[in-house]
Structure 1
Amino acid sequence: MAISATEKPLSRVFMSDYRFVIPSFQRAYTWQAENILQLVSDLQDASASANTPYFLGSLILVRDGESRYQVIDGQQRLISLSIIIAVLRELETDPVLLSELDELILEPGNKLRGIKAEPRLRLRDRDAEFFRSYVQEGDLEGLFDLRDGDMETHAQRNIAVNARQVFDELAKLDDGERHRFASYLVNQVTLVIVTTDDLAGAHRIFDVMNMRGVPLTASDVFKAKVVAALSPAARNVYAARWDDIMDPLGDDAQVLEEFFSDLHLIVSHKPVCTQLLEEFRADVLAAYVKEQNVISFIDELLAPYAMAWRVLDHPTDTALPDDVVRQLVLLNDYPTADWKTVAMWALVHSVGNLGSADAAVFTRSDDRSGNGGTTPAPREPMRLHDGTRLRTILQALERVTGVDSLNRQSPLTRRTRMANAVRGLDRDYTMPQNKGFLVTDDDRRSALAHLRGELQTNPKMNRLLLIRANEQQAGFRITRPRSLNALPIVPERVAKNSPFAAWPESLRDFWSSRIGNLVLTQANEQQLAPLQTFKERRDRMLLSSSSRRFPLTEKLGHIEELTAKTLQWRQDETVRLIAEFWNIRYDEGNTDLSVLDEQQLTRGSAPRTPTAKRVTIAQVLESGLLVAGETLVWERPRKGERWVATVTANGKLRLEDGNEYSSPTAAARAAGGNSAGLSVWKRTSDGRKLSEIWKAYRMQKR
């Protein structure tokens, strides 16, 4: 079995020497938005040091012909990198750079060398054409126009969501920043390419690389630094003390790095830490070492904050008051964890003995001392000396985390807010003085506009929003079942014999991604998918008594017939409840923002950068890029099919049968069963695809 391993930058990975194929036995693309956004954030931070390489791990490949390789390990990264490059290409206006980015994804071919033009990465058969059409061949506008029901697999949904999120993130950069990011990505991000000609051997390599050898963690490095600064007499005692503190956090290197990064922010007030080992030693440890007081670092900083970290991971197992536990549970709902820094600060400064080895932080029923329950339960009660401040901070923290999540703020923006909040807390500012907890009128309007419009959030965030609305309605914390999902009332895929098929396509299209159409239930997607009537879906959603704990779900039982008016009522009520929960219902002029529609909320505050938010026909009409009465055509010469659509003054496409549709995708589905609406419709006056017109509209925001 011949094995080779070389480290290469991406510019030497996405090239003619490699054609990557994902074997059918591999799992699908599973990265969530938080995974790819974390990668983008890490790369943005790393690109600040332009000459410092960023190692992205290894690829394990099996040769499958000349320059063709099966990917055994690394597909998640390859797909995510392809999405990032595709977004950079979409945002690029320089034709030379655009072409160079394009060649990283698509092999242009070379007849003399016998290289055919094709994508550099081929996914599993079920998702290959989707990925090729929308991402690799550059139809991101068509991708952004798709509804959830237009995608056949979870992998396709992940691709669509991640592309939208990356677009929104990178669109915030100006041309210079984006070019520096792209240059760093191509030249300084490296991968180790491990190749073999034997599939079984590749799996053995995978096992060895992932299961043998335990590299030093951040905790190991900092422990060595601290212990070296101790007197010989204290070394053994405090080495053991360090282990007692850190062992319960586990040995996951990424978790430990996140803990020390958060501790670095708390001490230094710096939102970004690109080189943790160096910056933590300089910004945190150096002062303790210089003053020969590293024991104080262990006892007064490391111990209480490590315990605070554990409390945040398991709030329901602690001896904290119920209302504090509830606030920590709400924070744990979020798919991001930037809030942890402020919550840790609040716990450490509100519980006097949080760092004591004898403090009864966790309950007897779930001892998390790290001793497997073999030691007696601690006897020293927790000393919560400033419960009012703790509750105030946690409530304000949950509020700004919710508003920032709805407004899809970048990791850097969220992290900067947390750094400002800790700085203000250290300076003993009042809550109104602390800019880390400030929510402006623009923040309120933007958040409510996102709630009113098409949700651009992932399933976890949709679930969180409905939990907030239901608990605000109930007036208390609702005990949640283990399985709890936010599912649509109107099915995503409507069968021809479904009563919902009688609804206009535009109406189904409008409600498919809005919060008024979502319900908290223990049912899952597979159970609801075959159910096509409202009564069947309602009864399945209400089948479990645990589902009926939630007031907005329970109210479904009082609805006999679902109408658009019913959905609008649910929408209005849900938006109002969430606005009240986060105290964003009224602006500084006491205007009730919860009753304003999406257009009223966004008027005068349009984003200055393009976003991946779905573009409507009405918006393009208003911009002048389309004109009412224009004719569009979709031709399929091989099938002898030709469909014609007319742009109406009210922002719809009218087919020749007289039916009108609110999106090009909906019109394409109705005409020829194809969901790639933006790429198939062409304007008859100049042959221009709608996807090109939509991109021109989106770029007007720059």
Structure 2
Amino acid sequence: MSINAKELPLEKVFTPDYRFFIPSFQRPYIWQPENIQQLVDDLAGAAKTPGTPYFLGSLILVRSGRDNRFDVIDGQQRLVSLAIIIAALRDLERDHEWMRLLDALIVEPGDKLRGIRNEPRLTLRERDAAFFREYVQEGNLEALFDLGEEDWTTTAQRNITRNTKRVYDELSNMSEDERRTFASYLVNEVTLVIVTTDDLDSAHRIFDVMNMRGLPLTPSDVFKARATSGLKPVELDAYAQRWDDVMDPLGDDSPASERFFSYLHLIATHKPDSDKLIEDFLTDVMQPYLDNGTMTTFIDQVLAPYAMAWLVITRPSDTVLPDEVKARLESLNDYPSHEWKPVAMWALVHSFRNLGAPDISPFASRGTRASRASTTARTLGAHDSQRLNEILAALERITGVDTLNRTAPFRRRGHAAAAIRDLDKGYPVRMIRALSISSDDRAGALVRLHGEMQGDDDLIRLLLIRANDQAAETHLSRPRKLSALPIMPVAFDPKSAFAASGWTQETHDYWMYRLGNMALAQGSEDQLDKLTDYAGRRDRMLMRADSRRFPLTEQLKHFNECTPEMLRHRQEETIRLIADRWEIRYDENHTDLTSQDIDELAGHGRIARPVHSSRRVTIKQVVEAGLLIPGEKLVWDRPRKGERWFATVTEDGRFRLDDGSTHASPTAAAKAAAGGKSAGGLSVWRRTSDNRNLADIWKQFRQQAE
């Protein structure tokens, strides 16, 4: 048995030295948009400090035969996600040399002289390999964006599509220089430890040791060792036990421990920590207590109250705190970001004098009566409840707007540090700039509320929860499984009763991914998949009482038909409710911003319009831009099968096949031509006049639009 391990930057990983294969026994690609979003955010933040490497963990590989072929035992999710990020960078790039260099990272360009074939560096499981190669690795992102939900045959393909859209949208918000800085950092300073062995059993043993048995020291372990070194012998046993009593309830999850101490560092110093958390915390936070011989003060008055505050914001519903405080914290926990937590921790510690004191717990015991809960809350030393509620309300507004505007994590951390600095100075909440929403951020949030939200399922659900809470004027309890479901049928059938009621493909596509077309319902996201009419979908959503508790869902019972006017009304009402919740509805002149259209809100160029760069481009849009002409002829040749199909561009922005059928998207036309089988869509049709691939034409349109 031979085992080898070495740390390499990505430029040395994505080379002919490694041909990665995902074995059939591995699970599929399961990362969700929020997972890959977090990776992009982390890398973008790290790229702000070039020269500091970013370690992305280890890959465990088994050599499989010759030609540098390796089966991936651990690391599939990261490899696929990295390939998606590089593919998006390549597609957004306009310089051919940059495109060539990025392309070479995910597809071996081949070398006839050296006998190297042109092939992808990563091959997925058999069910998804062709899909990933055709659409992502070979650069057919336009064709990928043209796919609908009916075109995915596996969950992995859905995840690949959604994650690619999310990454493309995120990177398209960067400037060209920012993307190139990001790409250079990704290739040169992001590292992986490559562990290779010659047999599968050895690989599984390595995986077991690295992931199950290995128990590396957490930051808490390191800090405890330093803290006890500064204690007097008479204090040592009692305060070593006190440290464990404080930290054990937080659990032994290393990332969570790191985040807690990172935020404690921010609270104490008013500055985010660098990538050297242990060094920074020891120097900036603990060393003064060690120098003064007051380590017991640090444990009792800093570590204990803030550790308890961390527990409270993690499980607010289990506490005896006032209902308004619990509701605010539960709402904050809905958001995917965490940068609000240090401010909330500060607010809790400065609102309850005895938080973290021995034998006093903010958590309710089972069977606790309301009277005892009230007594316990008083025992915590509650004071200045008005300020606490003002801080939490401001935090929820800021976090909501930042989430919608996709504010970068490093900016959110900077705002948190500034807010705590001003709170320590005693500033009133209304005077703290970092807890206020700027006019640009307010306008940007409202603009985005009006726009498409394709691929942002979690954001849509979160926004609908906020709107329904506001409509109900209370914090609504939620079923364990809650989904945001489209009211209209997902696929548009021109022969359906839905189409006969006056809908067009264009109007359907416009409303499909906007808030007005979404409603909260108990159950899974696929519960309406087989229902193709509005009445059936409405009745299914209203069938359960847990769905009807949401006012915007219950409203559907008053509408027998789904019309554009109905969705427009729902859109406007939903936006008003969210704007009221976040107090962004009115400007300084008390003008109702929710009544303005997008151009007015955007201030004629001051705020970007809501552009989801990966949104599906329609044939009609391309025709209106003059890039396709009605009457033009298109061809799809399949010489190996001896097949050829033709399509004609129609006046109303559709493709008409020779059998007379018309289709609203290239993918739908290709699927119909191929007898219902999944086809490449944009990547297969060519214009007969110049043999130009439609994917190139669609990309030209997207670049012009941006």
**Residues 319, 362 of structure 2: 8 Å contact kept:** yes
- CA change 1:470–1:181 in 2 (3 A) is closer
Q: How does 1:44-193 map to 2 (within 5 A)?
A: 44-48=44-48, 50-66=50-66, 67-148=68-149, 150-193=151-194
Equivalent in the alignment of 1:370: none
Tell me the distance in 1 between the aligned counterparts of 2:175 and 2:451.
27
**Residues 682, 695 of structure 2: 8 Å contact kept:** yes
Q: Structure 2: which amino acid aligns with 1:491?
A: P
**Residues 620, 626 of structure 1: 8 Å contact kept:** no
**Residues 320, 377 of structure 2: 8 Å contact kept:** no
**Residues 517, 571 of structure 1: 8 Å contact kept:** yes
**Residues 358, 380 of structure 1: 8 Å contact kept:** no
Equivalent in the alignment of 2:517: 517
Tell me the distance in 1 between the aligned counterparts of 2:274 and 2:631.
53
Deviation, 1:288, is 2.4
Deviation, 1:411, is 1.8
Deviation, 1:631, is 3.8
**Residues 58, 194 of structure 1: 8 Å contact kept:** yes
Deviation, 1:686, is 4.8
Q: Structure 2: which amino acid aligns with 1:431?
A: V
- CA change 1:497–1:78 in 2 (3 A) is same
Q: Structure 2: which amino acid aligns with 1:522?
A: Q
Tell me the distance in 2 between the aligned counterparts of 1:579 and 1:659.
45
Deviation, 1:18, is 1.6
Tell me the distance in 2 between the aligned counterparts of 1:469 and 1:566.
17
Report the count of equivalent residues: 690
Q: In structure 1, the residue corresponding to 2:5 is in which secondary structure?
A: strand
Greater CA deviation, 108-117 or 482-491?
A: 108-117
Q: In structure 1, the residue corresponding to 2:366 is in which secondary structure?
A: helix
Equivalent in the alignment of 1:371: none
1:451 aligns with 2:449: yes
Deviation, 1:659, is 8.8
Equivalent in the alignment of 1:573: 573
- CA change 1:91–1:427 in 2 (3 A) is farther
Tell me the distance in 2 between the aligned counterparts of 1:630 and 1:288.
80
Deviation, 1:173, is 4.5
Tell me the distance in 2 between the aligned counterparts of 1:110 and 1:691.
27
Q: Structure 2: which amino acid aligns with 1:311?
A: V
Equivalent in the alignment of 1:559: 559
- CA change 1:424–1:131 in 2 (3 A) is farther
Q: How does 1:279-428 map to 2 (within 5 A)?
A: 279-365=280-366, 381-428=379-426
TM-score, scaled relative to structure 2: 0.89
Q: Structure 1: which amino acid aligns with 2:242?
A: R
1:641 aligns with 2:639: no
Q: In structure 1, the residue corresponding to 2:478 is in which secondary structure?
A: coil
**Residues 165, 455 of structure 2: 8 Å contact kept:** no
Greater CA deviation, 603-612 or 534-543?
A: 603-612
**Residues 443, 607 of structure 2: 8 Å contact kept:** no
Q: Structure 1: which amino acid aligns with 2:111?
A: N
**CA deviation vs aligned residue, 1:191-236 (integer Å, no higher than 9, x gap):** 2222233333322322222111210111111111222122232222
- CA change 1:664–1:348 in 2 (3 A) is farther
Q: In structure 1, the residue corresponding to 2:508 is in which secondary structure?
A: helix
1:6 aligns with 2:10: no
Tell me the distance in 2 between the aligned counterparts of 1:57 and 1:7.
9
- CA change 1:566–1:360 in 2 (3 A) is same
Q: Structure 2: which amino acid aligns with 1:572?
A: E
Q: In structure 2, the residue corresponding to 1:525 is in which secondary structure?
A: coil
- CA change 1:408–1:379 in 2 (3 A) is closer
Q: Structure 2: which amino acid aligns with 1:468?
A: R
Equivalent in the alignment of 2:41: 41
Deviation, 1:653, is 4.5
Equivalent in the alignment of 1:442: 440
Equivalent in the alignment of 2:372: none
**CA deviation vs aligned residue, 1:494-550 (integer Å, no higher than 9, x gap):** 679854465433233222212122111113234322223323222221222111111
Q: In structure 2, the residue corresponding to 1:365 is in which secondary structure?
A: coil
Q: In structure 2, the residue corresponding to 1:571 is in which secondary structure?
A: helix
Deviation, 1:148, is 4.7
Deviation, 1:362, is 0.3
Q: In structure 2, the residue corresponding to 1:546 is in which secondary structure?
A: helix
Q: In structure 2, the residue corresponding to 1:8 is in which secondary structure?
A: strand
Tell me the distance in 2 between the aligned counterparts of 1:568 and 1:659.
31
**Residues 91, 171 of structure 1: 8 Å contact kept:** yes
**Residues 342, 418 of structure 1: 8 Å contact kept:** yes
Greater CA deviation, 517-526 or 34-43?
A: 34-43
Equivalent in the alignment of 2:584: 584
Tell me the distance in 2 between the aligned counterparts of 1:403 and 1:255.
25
- CA change 1:146–1:293 in 2 (3 A) is farther
Q: Structure 2: which amino acid aligns with 1:454?
A: E
- CA change 1:44–1:287 in 2 (3 A) is farther
Deviation, 1:278, is 1.6
Tell me the distance in 2 between the aligned counterparts of 1:553 and 1:695.
38
**Residues 321, 377 of structure 2: 8 Å contact kept:** no
TM-score, scaled relative to structure 1: 0.89
Tell me the distance in 2 between the aligned counterparts of 1:517 and 1:366.
43
Q: How does 1:652-667 map to 2 (within 5 A)?
A: 652-653=653-654, 655=656
Q: How does 1:616-631 map to 2 (within 5 A)?
A: 616=617, 626=627, 631=632
Tell me the distance in 2 between the aligned counterparts of 1:529 and 1:173.
36
Q: How does 1:221-300 map to 2 (within 5 A)?
A: 221-271=222-272, 273-300=274-301
**Residues 61, 72 of structure 1: 8 Å contact kept:** yes
Deviation, 1:176, is 4.7
Tell me the distance in 1 between the aligned counterparts of 2:568 and 2:668.
21
**CA deviation vs aligned residue, 1:570-607 (integer Å, no higher than 9, x gap):** 22222222222212222233332223344554442353
1:479 counterpart (477, 480, 488):
477
Equivalent in the alignment of 1:537: 537
Give aligned-pair identity as a percent.
Answer: 53
Greater CA deviation, 612-621 or 87-96?
A: 612-621
**Residues 317, 366 of structure 1: 8 Å contact kept:** no
Tell me the distance in 1 between the aligned counterparts of 2:443 and 2:376.
49
Deviation, 1:677, is 4.7
Unaligned ranges ≥5, structure 2: 369-374
- CA change 1:457–1:429 in 2 (3 A) is farther
Q: In structure 1, the residue corresponding to 2:545 is in which secondary structure?
A: coil
Q: In structure 1, the residue corresponding to 2:429 is in which secondary structure?
A: coil
Q: Structure 2: which amino acid aligns with 1:36?
A: I
Equivalent in the alignment of 1:464: 462
Deviation, 1:8, is 2.4
Deviation, 1:613, is 4.8
- CA change 1:579–1:378 in 2 (3 A) is closer
**Residues 310, 345 of structure 2: 8 Å contact kept:** yes
**Residues 487, 524 of structure 1: 8 Å contact kept:** no
Q: Structure 1: which amino acid aligns with 2:582?
A: W
Tell me the distance in 2 between the aligned counterparts of 1:619 and 1:153.
30
**Residues 58, 192 of structure 1: 8 Å contact kept:** yes
- CA change 1:365–1:571 in 2 (3 A) is same
Tell me the distance in 1 between the aligned counterparts of 2:403 and 2:86.
25
Q: Structure 1: which amino acid aligns with 2:123?
A: R
Q: Structure 1: which amino acid aligns with 2:128?
A: D
- CA change 1:210–1:635 in 2 (3 A) is same
Tell me the distance in 2 between the aligned counterparts of 1:339 and 1:607.
25
